[in-house]
């Protein structure tokens, strides 16, 4: 997969550490090709790709960090509740102090990128699934996709027909 990490213009020589950690994860653990860019998409990006980027819900020239943190905290709390584990138990399971997850959910702390990956692993979701909007059950959907990948074309067609019918009821 090709990944373009587009960061608002920063003054330092290198991208922010968190962005570099995300890039490292994708490059070393997933084998993806990662490309950094400051500010706007690079000139080498075609107009079609540039237009697609700017229409994407993930592209913005302005970030509201408070809103992003609030959304992430709500997702963390929801996934933890779906797993049926207390904030204390989860904190201890990921190697943190007993009130760590509670502090994150109450916006008194932010996890490092490394701890965020531990949180995702513990909850059984990928970082992408964690931030995916409109998906109330990312773990279930991920498990379903894994099973669907093993089915043949006829079985997939049958399941699609059933799912469409269920969706209209």
Q: What is the 8-class DSSP label of residue 118? A: H
Q: List the single range of 51-65, 100-114, 131-145 with lowest mean pLDDT.
A: 51-65
Question: What does the domain layout of the chain look like in residue ranges?
Answer: 2-55, 65-136
Fold of 65-136: 434 Repressor (Amino-terminal Domain) (1.10.260)
pLDDT per residue over 124-137, tens digit each? 888 888 877 667 77
φ and ψ of 33, to 5 deg? -90, 125
pLDDT per residue over 12-30, tens digit each? 555 667 777 777 777 777 8
Q: What is the pTM of this model?
A: 0.52
- The burial class, CB within 10 Å (0-12 / 13-18 / 19+), for 147 is exposed
Q: What is the CA radius of gyration of the chain?
A: 19
Q: How many CB atoms lie within 10 A of CB 7?
A: 13
| Vertex 118: Cα angle to 17 and 132 (nearest 5) | 80
| Residue pair 139/146 in contact by the 8 Å Cβ criterion | no
């Amino acid at each position: 997969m090709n990944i373009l990490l587009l960061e608002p213009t920063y003054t330092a020589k290198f991208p922010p550490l968190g962005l570099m950690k995300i890039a490292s994860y994708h490059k070393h653990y997933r084998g993806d090709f990662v490309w950094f860019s400051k500010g706007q998409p690079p000139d080498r990006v075609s107009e079609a790709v540039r237009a697609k980027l700017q229409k994407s819900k993930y592209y913005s020239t302005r970030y509201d960090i408070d809103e992003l943190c609030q959304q992430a905290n709500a997702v963390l709390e929801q996934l933890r509740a779906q797993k049926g584990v207390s904030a204390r138990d989860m904190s201890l399971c990921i190697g943190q102090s007993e009130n760590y997850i509670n502090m994150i959910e109450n916006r008194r702390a932010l996890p490092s990128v490394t701890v965020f990956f531990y949180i995702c692993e513990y909850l059984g979701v990928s970082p992408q699934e964690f931030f995916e909007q409109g998906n109330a059950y990312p773990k279930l959907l991920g498990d379903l996709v894994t099973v669907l990948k093993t089915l043949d074309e006829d079985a997939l067609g049958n399941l699609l027909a059933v799912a469409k019918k269920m969706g209209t009821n």
